[in-house]
Amino acid sequence: MRFGIVGAGAIGCLFGASLSRAGHDVTLIHRDLSIVRAIQKNGVSLRETDKTVTRVRVPVRRGPTPLPGTEVLIIAVKAYDTKAVAASYRGIVPFETTVLSLQNGLGNIETLQSELKNELLAGSTTEGAFSLGPGSVLHTGRGLTVIGDPRGTKSETCSRIKIAFEEARFRTKISSNMAGVLWTKAIVNAAINPLSGLTRLSNDALAKSAKIREIGFRVIDEGISVSRAERVILAGDPRKLWRRILLSTSANKSSMLQDIERRKMTEIRQLNGAILSRGKRRGVETPTNGILTKLVLGIEESSNP
């Protein structure tokens, strides 16, 4: 298949290099010219936890850019960039191209739908990826990637993407309840990322701390209450998934911790902030999510005075 991947960060490079290595036609797209040039010069370096390193040459272009002939355009940017990406690709994505959101947080699908009229698929992955620099990724843990039509209908393209992902060695499932999948992942991320970012603890350290688990489960319980008010049927038990993700990506630093260490904007608004705002709209109290949102926003302010 011919893929375009918007966002050459950890997840974009992990999927791009793996799909390319499996024989698929992949083009990475990134807005930062320095990152584009680094990948053009050095390719993508993929390091596994067993210390094996594979260097993959993947075509890369500065975006936004038209990609005629692209069958699937994967959106792998941070959730706070979704609106800008959707607006910049309006009118230049061929109608026959399927757009797949492979992002964290809530609201990405709705934002993409507001700008793009293409077939739109939702995706969620628990693959662990840590950026070591431009085009250099440490694959910190294998997980599960779930994709599906957000309307719950069957998609032939979805089935083809699943085959391609499995050829790239990503365990993949198709779900007819992507709203539940995205909400479950968002609730779990809301109970991992800010706690990791605030404490600077790795995933395995979070899993071993009884005090952290207590706070994390409060975040989860609030998220479950909001999802029920939103009439979303969750895909699995967020508590069990919380522990499973932490243990399967024990060497990983959460994306929010990586962002905080690099003094970058975080996805707190699309995780705990989204649970908080939806809770207010539905009359559901979410005090723990509110506190974590304010603390991480405070760190962002102190990092960028």
The side-by-side arrangement of strands in the sheet containing 44-48 is 53-56, 44-48, 136-141, 128-133
Give the whole-angstrom CA distance, residue 191 versus residue 246.
11
**185 catalytically annotated:** yes
3-state helix, strand, coil in the chain (%, to 5): 50, 20, 35
7 closest CA partner among 116, 135, 120, 105: 135
Per the CB < 8 A criterion, the answer to whether 121 and 155 are in contact is yes
Per the CB < 8 A criterion, the answer to whether 140 and 47 are in contact is no
| DSSP 3-state of 150 | coil
Give the whole-angstrom CA distance, residue 54 versus residue 281.
48
Angle (nearest 5°) at CA 229 between 223 and 233: 75
202 closest CA partner among 263, 160, 145, 140: 140
Token look-up 């909400």 returns 183
Give the whole-angstrom CA distance, residue 57 versus residue 258.
25
Give the whole-angstrom CA distance, residue 231 versus residue 265.
31
239 closest CA partner among 217, 207, 254: 217
Among residues 83, 185, 240, 264, the one annotated as catalytic is 185
Tell the burial category of 112 from Cβ atoms under 10 Å away from its Cβ (0-12, 13-18, 19+): buried
Query: Catalytic residue positions?
Result: 185
